[in-house]
C-alpha cells in the first residue's frame, strides 16, 4: 500500500497503523554477503566460507549476516514512501526490539513490510516515528526472517 495522499509531517499522528506494503525483493547473494563482510570485518565462516558452510554448517550453505538484513530497512522505507517527501530532515534514531527469526541462505531474496507503529511529538514540527519492519523470504515459503522496530526523528 502506498503512502496516503495526505502524508505530511504535520499529520504523521494520523497514520499510526498505516501499512505501506512490501518492498521489491532484494537478493542476498554471496557477492553481497562477501562485500558486507569486507566492509564490517565480520568474516565468520558461516557467512563467507562456502565450502565449509556446505560441509560443516547447520544450514547447508552460507547465510547472510543478520546485520546485513537489518541494514536494508532504511532503503526499503524510502522505496515505500514511509516518510513525507517534504520533510526538511530525517534522522535514523536507532532500532528497538530487533529479532532474527530465521537464517537467510545465500542467494535468497527478501521483501520487507513496513508499518508506522507510533508517532511521538518532540517539539514544534518534530516527531519521533516508530516503524515496525518485518522481512520475509520472497517466494513460496515466505517465512519471517527479521522483525525490528526502527526509530526516526522527522522534522517539518
| pLDDT (tens digit per residue) in 122-136 | 999 999 999 999 999
pTM given for the model = 0.92
Q: How far is CA 133 from CA 28, 45, 53, 82, 156, in A?
A: 18, 28, 29, 11, 23
User: What was the pLDDT predicted at 5?
Assistant: 65
Cα three-residue angle 126-7-4, rounded to 5 degrees: 150
CA distance 23 to 43: 28
Q: Are 2 and 20 in contact (CB under 8 A)?
A: yes
Average pLDDT by consecutive 10-residue portion of the chain (156 residues)? 73 90 97 98 98 97 98 96 91 96 97 97 95 92 94 95
Q: Which fold has domain 9-27+63-155?
A: Thiol Ester Dehydrase; Chain A (3.10.129)
Q: Which three cell numbers stand for residue 4?
A: 496516503
Amino acid at each position: 500500500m502506498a503512502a496516503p495522499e495526505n502524508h505530511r509531517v504535520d499529520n504523521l499522528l494520523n497514520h499510526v497503523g498505516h501499512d505501506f506494503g512490501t518492498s521489491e525483493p532484494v537478493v542476498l547473494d554471496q557477492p553481497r554477503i562477501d562485500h558486507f563482510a569486507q566492509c564490517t570485518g565480520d568474516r565468520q565462516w558461516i557467512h563467507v566460507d562456502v565450502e565449509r558452510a556446505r560441509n560443516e554448517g547447520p544450514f547447508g550453505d552460507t547465510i547472510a549476516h543478520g546485520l546485513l538484513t537489518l541494514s536494508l530497512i532504511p532503503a526499503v522505507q524510502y522505496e515505500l514512501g514511509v516518510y513525507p517527501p517534504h520533510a526538511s530532515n530525517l534522522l535514523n534514531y536507532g532500532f528497538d526490539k530487533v529479532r532474527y527469526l530465521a537464517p537467510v541462505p545465500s542467494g535468497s531474496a527478501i521483501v520487507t513490510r513496513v508499518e508506522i507503529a507510533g508517532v511521538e511529538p518532540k517539539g514544534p514540527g518534530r516527531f519521533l516515528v516508530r516503524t515496525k519492519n518485518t522481512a520475509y523470504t520472497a517466494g513460496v515459503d515466505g517465512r519471517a526472517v527479521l522483525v525490528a522496530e526502527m526509530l526516526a526523528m522527522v522534522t517539518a
